[in-house]
Amino acid sequence: MTSGIGRTTLITVGVIALILGGIWTGQGMNLIPGSFMTGSRMWLFIGLILAIVGMILIVLGLRRPGNSHTNT
């Protein structure tokens, strides 16, 4: 796996995790109605954890060194 693909994968998975975590947090906080998860504290905490993991993956993807050709 090349570094560019690894960075893209980390960022993509991080964004998906952040979005899902935000949705699940909103449902757990009873802000997004219409689901079995609405108003459930369990989904609030699962969503928060997933959102934090998503942010960490995004930061790791952005900080991971790319294909730099500085070695001459």
pLDDT attached to residue 35: 87
Measured CA to CA, the distance from residue 65 to residue 7 in angstroms comes to 8
The tokens for 67 are: 């294909």
pLDDT attached to residue 63: 87
Residue 18 identity (one-letter amino acid): L
pLDDT tens per residue across span 3-59: 788 899 999 999 999 999 999 999 999 999 988 888 889 999 999 999 999 999 999
Long-range contacts of 26-29 (CB under 8 A, 24+ apart): none
Measured CA to CA, the distance from residue 25 to residue 4 in angstroms comes to 31
Q: Are 10 and 61 in contact (CB under 8 A)?
A: yes
Q: What is the pTM of this model?
A: 0.81
